[in-house]
Amino acid sequence: MFIKSFRVYFVILSAILLAAGCASRGRPSGGEKDVTPPEITNENPKNYSTNFRNREIKIYFDEFVKLKDLQKQLIISPPMDTPPVITPLGTASKYITIKIKDTLADNTTYAINFGQSIVDNNEENPYPYYRYVFSTGDTIDSLSVKGAVFDAENRNADPFISVMLYESDTTYTDSIVYKEKPKFVTNTLDSLTTFSIDNIKAGKYRLVALKDENANFTYQPKTDKIGYYEGEITVPTDAIYNITLFKETLDFKVLKPSQIAEQRILFPFEGELENVEVEVQSDSIKNIEYRLTRDKETDSLYYWYKPKVEVDSALFLVKSENFTETFKYKFRNADKDSLTITAFKPGTLSFNDDIALEASTPFAKIDTTKIKLIDKDSVPVKYNVEFDELYNRYKFKIDLKETEKYKMEILPSAFTDFYGEVNDTLNFSFNTRKKSDFGNIRVNLINAKFPLIVQLIDDRGKVLYEQYADTYPVVDFNDIEARQYQLRAIFDTNKNGKYDSGNYLKKIQPERVSYAEPIDPVRPNFDYIIEFILKE
């Protein structure tokens, strides 16, 4: 009996000890989190070496490291035509290898800036802003140019802005930014708007900044933002240089057309839309009629034509004030468009909206005797009609009442489209809320220089409400949705009622935009008075 009990006890004790042993092999829980960045133990060749001739560089660390977001953070100044191969990528190692593939220039100081891409393997603590510098000559250039980057339209500048210096010598032209890499370059990284271009030599330079979407250190107007300092910079200098980035408005240009319906051709365009005319240059097509409308979401024009053509191809001359081009166009089979009428904003309207209808084909005629608008008591509501031909939209202007329900009854043939098609019976319903559901803001403009465009925008920069101030330093935003806004003002220098961006080659800076201090969220049935101090 004793032996049997001892055996049971021994089995239980062994199981407990085995479980404890297995548990001890796991990673200990608890303890303080590692917040210490890796440290460099050796560099071969040494950092800041002169008369550099090596093709490989190794940087050793006291722990395993890896490279994170290297493509975003790595900046080499001056840029190399053939970038170096840097490893490891995707794995951890106790050293980083840089293999130089390019032919290095003589008597030149190079800086390889890693930003915060070097992190330890476990907690990803970054080694902050590591720079490996070497010179192919006898000395290391040690001068610098410092400054800050701002955004023309947005409150905060984008991250990862490339700031570049070009030598201002007899070969320099402004167009160099489109085709050649700069002499020196740095990056604002992800959390800073300041910059310092270091290890440069004495001389005269031109300073340019890019939001370089393609990471090729050349300016691509379709995708990149640009900013520049006016005039030359003489180095050495103690000055601080501020640069404002802007998205340049492309010159108006119509692109290759395509057929998207039986009698509708799509003409994409770039830049700011101008008044456009389209002429058929082929003798085989006679007496063609057309209408142009704009897509409400994309930069595209629709060319609607009649009658249906029976030819294979034709020449179209497209021209505006600043653009002329002839397109050879081949007609294709496609489905026929049909008339459909919808409400531009169905359902609930705010007090800044209009009742509006739009159609899938161009409106040609309206018969208001066949359109009745009534309120919830079936009392007729008078309206005025406005037609927006470009967006193919009828607006019915009325004085909207609060907590009202409107019904629009449309009889057959009230609308006729470009092709002679008419509508069937249509009914639309709209309603409004109480005035107390909305808020009001009065903005007192301090230090105003007229004219100003005053805007309420969302956190993505979309304009939600806008007022124009040209004589009186007070603007009112009434019956606006309860939500969070940002408040800004555009200095409308050329008095054209809209924001105008800059132009690099024409040396035009963007119109100035000033942001107010953050404002409180608008609450229903509240009136706000805001002092907007505009900085000189």
Name the phi and psi angles at 47, rounded to 5. Answer: -60, 145
CATH number of 40-135: 2.60.40.1220
**Could you give the C-alpha distances from 172 to 9, 106, 183, 331, in angstroms and in order?**
91, 20, 12, 48
Buried b (16+ CB within 10 A) or exposed e, 398-437: bebeeebebbbebeeebbbbbbeeebeebebebebbeeeb
pLDDT given at position 536 = 66
Distance from C-alpha of 432 to C-alpha of 233, rounded to nearest angstrom = 59
pLDDT given at position 24? 40
pLDDT higher than threshold 90 for residue 23:
no
Q: Tell me, yes or no, if the two domains 40-135 and 143-245 fold the same way.
A: yes
pLDDT at site 2:
43
Range of lowest pLDDT (24-33, 314-323, 422-431): 24-33
Among candidates 369, 399, 519, which has minimal Cα distance to 455? 519
Which residues, in sequence order, are bridge partners of residue 234? 204
pTM check: above 0.95: no
d(CA 385, CA 375): 18
Query: Binning pLDDT at 50, 70 and 90, where does residue 1 land?
Result: very low
The average pLDDT across 349-357 equals: 96
User: What pLDDT is recorded for position 31?
Assistant: 56
User: Is residue 518 pLDDT above 70, yes or no?
Assistant: yes
- Is CATH 3.30.1940 correct for 253-330? no
pLDDT tens track for 236-268: 999 999 999 999 999 999 999 999 999 999 999
The pair of structure tokens assigned to 494 is 């050329």
In 70-163, which residue ranges form alpha helices assigned H by DSSP? 70-73
Residue closest to 167 by CA, chosen among 145, 151, 149: 145
Residue whose entry in the numeric block shows the structure tokens 């890693």: 114
Question: What's the average model confidence in pLDDT over 349-362?
Answer: 97
Pick from 14-28, 55-69, 115-129: least confident: 14-28
Summary mean pLDDT of the chain: 92
Residues 6+ apart with CB under 8 A from 523: 439, 482
Q: Which CATH number fits domain 143-245: 1.20.120.430, 2.60.40.1120, 2.60.200.30, 3.40.50.1000?
A: 2.60.40.1120
The whole-number pLDDT of residue 479 equals 97
| Beta strands at 253-254 and 85-87: parallel, antiparallel or unpaired | unpaired
* C-alpha atoms less than 13 angstroms from C-alpha of 471 in its C-beta half-sphere: 0
The pLDDT value given to residue 372: 98
Residue with tokens 């002329």: 324
The pLDDT value recorded for residue 8 is: 44
Beta bridge partners of 360: none
pLDDT at 25: 39
pLDDT score for 33: 73
Q: What percent of the chain has pLDDT over 90?
A: 86
- For 201-226, b/e burial (b = at least 16 CB within 10 A) is bebebbbbbbbbeeeebbbebeebbb
Task: Give per-residue pLDDT as tens, 464-511.
Answer: 999 999 999 999 999 999 999 999 999 999 999 999 999 999 999 999
- Report in angstroms the alpha-carbon separations of 186 from 48, 210, 225, 243, 407: 18, 11, 16, 14, 62
Q: Tell me what pLDDT residue 323 has.
A: 97
Domain range summary for the chain, segments of one domain joined by +: 40-135, 143-245, 253-330, 341-433, 438-533
Q: Report which of 133, 122, 69 is spatially closest to residue 98, judged by C-alpha positions.
A: 133
Whether cis (ω within 30° of 0) applies to the bond prior to 38 is no
Q: In this structure, what token pair is assigned to residue 343? A: 């409400």
Q: In CATH, what number does 438-533 get?
A: 2.60.40.10
**34 pLDDT exceeds 50?**
yes
Per-residue pLDDT tens over the stretch 400-453: 999 999 999 999 999 999 999 999 999 999 999 999 999 999 999 999 999 999
Q: Which CATH number does the domain 341-433 belong to among 2.120.10.30, 3.30.1360.180, 2.60.40.1220, 1.10.1070.11?
A: 2.60.40.1220
Give residue 129's pLDDT.
85
Whether residue 26 is predicted with pLDDT greater than 60 in this model: the reply is no
CA atoms in the 13 A half-sphere facing the CB of 368 = 11
pLDDT tens digits, one per residue of 359-389: 999 999 999 999 999 999 999 999 999 999 9
Residue 15 above 60 pLDDT? no
